[in-house]
Amino acid sequence: MKDRGTEKESQPGIDSRTDGENSSAGAHDGATMFAALEDKIAKLEAERDDLKSTMVRRQADFENFKKRLERERHEEGQRGVARLAEHLLPVIDAFERALAAHEDPAYENYRRGFELIYKQLSEALTKQGVQRIEATGKPFDPNYHQAIERVETDEHADGAVIEVLQPGYVFHGRVLRPATVRVAVAPEERSKHGAH
């Protein structure tokens, strides 16, 4: 007769490992599974962080795009106002000439009407940022003035604007039209005396 313990060991399909070995193998499988889960969690967290940083970049790109679009719209609006102002400046000039030409009392009612229209037109342009260049008495500046004549005189400082023939205008710092001016220049004698 065979020993039952021996029979048990020789039967196929029966695990011959002891309980200690079985629990050690189960712990090993659990540790492997735990390591695999940790690895998967780390990968998911990395993907999440990558998506989060991509989303932050896209949001920043979108904000920059919006700001650029608003700036371009603003600039285009200013260019439109500048073009309109350039077309209206000759109208202002015509009003000024008309107002200067008719001092006759018979034109007084017409004059008042012209003055009112001129004032409204000037105020409308000023509200949009169009400003007249103040030139009379100022030193000549080629950025804002266009000299058509140099006048020898002792009454004004050398290089000073003594007369504005056509006013100039700026729009938000950009010259729409330079002022057409006459500029004082020291007489020859004074220049020669100053040189000695």
Domain holding 98: CATH number?
3.90.20
- Mean pLDDT (whole number) for 136-143: 93
170 and 133 in contact (C-beta within 8 Å)? yes
Of 128, 155, 181, the residue that ends a domain is 128
Question: How many CB atoms sit inside 10 A of residue 167's CB?
Answer: 19
- Mean pLDDT (whole number) for 67-79: 87
25: Cβ contacts below 8 Å, ≥ 6 apart: 17
Checking if the pLDDT of 196 tops 50, the result is no
Measured between alpha carbons, how far is 161 from 147 in angstroms, rounded to an integer? 9
Please state whether the predicted TM-score (pTM) of the whole model is above 0.85.
no
Task: Give the pLDDT confidence of 88-110 residue by residue, as tens digits.
Answer: 888 888 888 777 766 667 777 77
121 and 88 in contact (C-beta within 8 Å)? yes
190: Cβ contacts below 8 Å, ≥ 6 apart: 154
Q: Are residues 67 and 109 in the same domain?
A: yes
Distances in Å between the Cα of 41 and the Cα atoms of 8, 27, 38, 50, 91 are 44, 21, 5, 14, 75
183 and 140 in contact (C-beta within 8 Å)? yes
Domain that holds residue 168: 132-196
- pLDDT of 100 reads 76
Of 76, 110, 128, the residue that ends a domain is 128
